[in-house]
Structure 1
Amino acid sequence: MVIGSLQYLSFTRPDIAFAVNKLSQFMHRPTDVHWQAAKRVLRYLAGTPSHGIYLRADSPITLHAFADADWAGDTTDYVSTNAYILYLGYTPIAWSSKKQKGVARSSTEAEYCAVANTASEIRWICSLLTDLGVTLPAAPVIYCDNVGATYLCANPIFHSRMKHLALDYHFIRENVQSGALRVTHLSTHDQLADALTKPLPRTRFLMLFNKIGVRYLPPS
């Protein structure tokens, strides 16, 4: 019941997305440790009741996203965690923190799957904006902090060792070659989706979520 309520709340609070994703994995057999972790999330929410996403009136109509993966971050099964944050202008409008379906054999593979997952969400948002009569001035951009994954998105040569990524590879290549999408490298320090893939020290956690757009909103 508590985790179900937190799952709904995470639709508007990206700062709890990773914690809720982690807790959701133990709903079938929770222990006292998981209950204590859930109460810690509740205490955090109780201390930040007026925090939320600030919607700016001057936000431009552009799409960009941050995609990240914590390679083999779960030491129980070594499955990586995917995460993305999608922005319309300055405002985060969609985010996700989920475990991948299988074990990635390299950090490039894990990050590339995260980029493909993000690209799929971007294409859906673009379709929705088209139905609403909104025209984007430029192609959406995905920011990835893995050099190998970024290179793979731009390289037209398909390597045989990446056969198991064929569907993701061709999906990304089709979008990049048609000009519907760009994938750009950025520093790990600037990767906002990092906060949705792993637990972080308090200082970095607060810094990232302030940059993401979750902040104190004074009463109107």
Structure 2
Amino acid sequence: MKVCPRPATPLPMASSPKLTLTSGKPLADPKEDHQLVGSLQYLQFTRLDIAFAVNKLSQFMHCPTDLHHQAAKQVLRYLAGTPTHGIYFSSSNSLTLHAYSDAYWVGDTLDYASTNAYIFYLGNHPISWTAKKLKGVARSSMEAEYRAVANTVADIQWICNILTELGVLLPSTPIVFCDNVGVIFLCENPVFHSRMKHIALDYHFVHGYIQDGALRVAHVNTTDQLDDALTKPLPRAQFLEL
């Protein structure tokens, strides 16, 4: 009897139930799972829509279970249903540089680490992105968001240096978009508060670039935060919108 293949899925990862290290039963032979997730890590270099799912699955590679392997296969079914998705680069694209920065506070309930993500755009084209866990535990959502902005600023300066070496002159100051009002206020406020000592390094690092006019940090509405798709699994409608 011939078994029909499972249909394609519109999501690379289901929003529920959440995958954890203890989900499912350990695989007797994890080799196939290691090969699959390892291959997906290369594919996410051109498919940012699977970046979060691949990052999440990579966290279980030391002890994959049957549910982890099923989730990896769901990514394959999603890719099978979206073979025409990709990134188009136009020669008429503008050279303005901007980024979306976001953090999902306490994204992992096992170690309480937050998930950090950013997407860099040169004009309308995404040129760099990441989705990964922040080191350490953030004591508030604002701290997690500010640390995410600091990581984004560090990488945006690296991209600026690359563009300078290539002879590309940016027509305007790079902008980092964040949906946390408290973070925006902290970036614009020249007075450093003693209660923020635990993120002092990130504060002075970001504020130094802002004072020099090398970049701006601006607010973006949560509904327009493109990074949401890189920080957590989303329901179908919201994922497709982003």
Q: How does 1:63-102 map to 2 (within 5 A)?
A: 63-102=97-136
TM-score (norm 2): 0.84
Give the CA deviation at 1:77: 1.6
- After superposition, the C-alpha distances for 1:140-192 in whole angstroms (9 at most, x for unaligned) are 00000000111111111111111121111111011000000100011100000
Matches of 2:74 and 2:222, distance apart in 1: 28
The match for 2:212 is 178
1:166 aligns with 2:200: yes
Matches of 2:185 and 2:43, distance apart in 1: 36
Runs (4+) of structure 1 exceeding 2 A deviation are none
User: Is this contact kept in 2: 1:56–1:90, CA < 8 A?
Assistant: no
- After superposition, the C-alpha distances for 1:122-153 in whole angstroms (9 at most, x for unaligned) are 00000001111111111100000000111111
Matches of 1:84 and 1:115, distance apart in 2: 9
User: Is this contact kept in 2: 1:18–1:197, CA < 8 A?
Assistant: yes
Matches of 1:53 and 1:132, distance apart in 2: 22
Matches of 1:114 and 1:150, distance apart in 2: 13
Greater share of strand: 1
The equivalent position to 2:223 in structure 1, one of 183, 189, 192, is: 189
- After superposition, the C-alpha distances for 1:94-144 in whole angstroms (9 at most, x for unaligned) are 000000001111110000011011111100000001111111111100000
Matches of 1:142 and 1:122, distance apart in 2: 9
- Structure showing greater radius of gyration is 2
Listed as ranges, the gaps of 5+ residues in structure 2 are 1-34
More displaced stretch, 26-35 vs 47-56 = 47-56
The match for 2:6 is none
- Supply the AA of the counterpart residue of 2:106: A
Give the CA deviation at 1:9: 0.6
Give the CA deviation at 1:207: 1.1
Give the CA deviation at 1:56: 2.1
Listed as ranges, the gaps of 5+ residues in structure 1 are 209-220
- Supply the AA of the counterpart residue of 1:124: W
TM-score (norm 1): 0.93
Identical-residue share of aligned pairs (%) = 69
Larger RCO (CA under 8 A, 6+ residues apart): 1
1:119 aligns with 2:153: yes
Give the CA deviation at 1:197: 0.3
Q: How does 1:29-40 map to 2 (within 5 A)?
A: 29-40=63-74
More displaced stretch, 130-139 vs 89-98 = 130-139
The match for 1:24 is 58
User: Is this contact kept in 2: 1:82–1:100, CA < 8 A?
Assistant: yes
Greater share of helix: 1
- Supply the AA of the counterpart residue of 1:84: Y
The equivalent position to 1:9 in structure 2, one of 26, 29, 43, is: 43
- Supply the AA of the counterpart residue of 1:186: V
The equivalent position to 1:136 in structure 2, one of 141, 157, 170, is: 170
- How many residues are aligned here? 208
Matches of 2:172 and 2:187, distance apart in 1: 18
- Supply the AA of the counterpart residue of 2:42: Y
Matches of 1:70 and 1:58, distance apart in 2: 35
Give the CA deviation at 1:16: 0.2
